[in-house]
Amino acid sequence: MGFPHKPHPKETVVLSQYFGDPEARTHKGWVKRGGYEALAQALKMEPAAVTDVVKESGLRGRGGAGFPTGLKWSFMPKEKKRPHYLCVNADESEPGTFKDREIMRWTPHALLEGTAIAAHAIQAEVAYIYIRGEFTEPWAIMEQALAEANAARVFGKIAIHLHRGAGAYICGEETALMNSIEGKRGNPRIKPPFPAAAGLFGLPTTINNVETLAAVPPILTRGAAWYKAMSLSNPKSTGTKLFSVCGHVQRPGNYEVTMGFPLKDLVYELSGGMRAGRTLKACIPGGSSVPILNREETERTLLDYEGCVAAGTMLGSGGVIVFDDSTDMVYQIMRLARFYAHESCAQCTQCREGTAWTTKILERILAGQGKTKDLDLLLDLSENMTGKTICVLSDSCAAPVVSGIQKFKNEFEDYIAGRRKPMLVA
């Protein structure tokens, strides 16, 4: 569901407060709504003091990893001897996730303000916002907002540039993104060195997700204690989070709730539940790279970092994909495997070969030519694709395959035993 729409009473509206309000896109409109006050406040503070406020708030990275933001900033050299960089990851490409797109479309200045505050905190004079190539509309809006903010000279000494991607999911991986800005193929780098030591152009760099940075201005103006108090379940997960809900629900769209919110309320109430006559079969709560939940697990999962781990999955990017009982799980898992095979940068053998073979075996099963041992073969392959490569793309391919076989094994067996009509031509 697009904006404007009235927020659901169970939503906690912070980031999405001005979604659907075209005036908030303009510099004038943003200032009228209290925008750029946080930046003015930050620029008067010592960089380390800004970092401390963010640390105290408990804000964690919203791109998928959930690393504490303030702690990440504190890894940057305190004494600046060489240029520092900030990269903003707006390469939103995780299937199921479309929240950063909405932030950039409706509140571009929230992102720009958060970017400038972060740049000040880590003593960077240049920030690059890496926007995926397909996001033509967010790009145009960000470009306009940046021009207006620059004309009003709100960023002090900080220069913010937009950098357009060109179609590569892997560039959402932090070091691949840096390579891409440097004009290289988007291959992830071996870590260490970590970006804070040697990142963009080999210099100290911090990289943050769009949603993470958009949360920073309100933390500064309303205080760390206010942010930290927003937590429904585990004190280690604080604040609000945008969840993108898609798939078989009546009202797909972005919903902002407090950390620890029940997944079942998000799916059944906020998103309007299933279509008439349909029931929930499965749900992927954190973008396609995290393990699939069955119905019973979905109904007891709490949406925060710890709650998702307790349910055997991950909060990831907050991209919630809902599948009803009409779904062919084998086919959809094959589609996901095909996605990862297509997006593998092909540096590591386990990933290049593993994603391709996983896809081939799944296609074979769907063509009615699967063998009984194929499921064990897929699990064995997945094990060899997990924790063995430079980045986690290969692990991400294994997650839906392993959890899918565990939870929906009968559907795979039906194809193999010939009880189900082949979906694909051999």
Partner 1 sequence: MTVTEEYRPVFAGKVQDELRQILTRYPTKQAALLPALWLVQRERGWISDRNMTEVAEALGVTPAYVKGVVTFYTMYHQHPVGRHFVQVCTTSPCNICGAEEVVKALLQQTGANDPGATSPDGAWTIVEVECLGACGFATPILINDDFIENVTPEKVPDLVRKYR
By the rule CB under 8 A, 135 interacts with partner 1: yes
Q: Which is nearer to partner 1, 82 or 225 (CB)?
A: 82
247 binds partner 1 (CB under 8 A): yes
State yes or no: residue 335 binds partner 1 (CB under 8 A): yes
Q: How far is the CB of 340 from partner 1 (least distance, A)?
A: 9
Buried-exposed string 205-240: b where 16+ CB fall within 10 A, e elsewhere: bbbbbbbbbbbbbbbbbeebeebbebbbbbeebbbb
Whole-number Å distance between alpha carbons of 116 and 88: 11
- Identify the residue among 110, 116, 146, 246 touching partner 1 (CB under 8 A): 246
CA distance 254 to 252: 7
- The C-alpha atoms of residue 403 and residue 396 are separated, in whole angstroms, by 11
Instruction: Choose the stretch contacting partner 1; rule: CB under 8 A; options: 20-28, 32-40, 227-235, 321-329.
Output: 321-329
Q: What's the half-sphere exposure (Cβ side, CA atoms, 13 Å) at 89?
A: 29
What span, in angstroms and rounded, lies between the C-alpha atoms of 205 and 263? 35
Which one of 5, 32, 44, 161 is in contact with partner 1 (CB under 8 A)?
161
Does residue number 336 form part of the binding site for partner 1 (CB under 8 A)?
yes
Structure tokens, 128: 């690059």
In contact, 125 and 159? CB cutoff 8 Å: yes
Q: Alpha-carbon dihedral of residues 149, 167, 293, 11, nearest 10 degrees?
A: 20
- CA torsion through residues 234, 112, 225, 229, sign: negative
Report the alpha-carbon angle 366-370-371, nearest 5.
160
Which residue among 9, 79, 183, 276 contacts partner 1 (CB under 8 A)?
183
The 264-303 contact track toward partner 1, x by CB under 8 A, reads ------------------------x---------------
Question: Which of these ranges, 96-104, 218-226, 262-270, 368-376, lies near partner 1 under the rule CB under 8 A?
Answer: 96-104
Q: Is 47 in the site for partner 1 (CB under 8 A)?
A: no
Q: Residue 227 CB, nearest distance to partner 1 (Å)?
A: 26
CA distance 387 to 377: 18
Q: Which of residues 11-40 bind partner 1 (CB under 8 A)?
A: none
- Is 101 one of the binding residues for partner 1 (CB under 8 A)? yes
Query: Based on CB atoms, which residue is closest to partner 1, 141 or 377?
Result: 141
Write the single-letter amino acid at 354: G
What is Dmax (Cα atoms) for the chain?
Answer: 70
Residue 325 sits in the site that holds partner 1 (CB under 8 A)? no
At residue 189's C-alpha, the angle toward residues 187 and 193, to 5°, is 165
Instruction: Rule CB under 8 A: say whether 97 interacts with partner 1.
Output: yes
Six-digit token pair at 114?
């958060």
Which residues partner with 87 through β-bridges?
A: 128, 207
Give the interface size with partner 1 as a residue count (CB under 8 A).
54
Note whether 352 binds partner 1 by CB under 8 A.
no
Region near partner 1 per CB under 8 A, out of 24-32, 212-220, 320-328, 384-392 = 320-328
Are 234 and 6 within 8 A, CB to CB? Answer: no
Q: Which stretch binds partner 1 (CB under 8 A): 39-47, 218-226, 229-237, 240-248?
A: 240-248
Can you give the binding site for partner 1, defined by CB under 8 A?
A: 1-2, 83, 92-98, 101, 132-137, 159, 161, 163-169, 180-186, 201, 244-248, 252-254, 288, 319, 321, 323, 327, 332, 335-336, 339, 342-343, 345
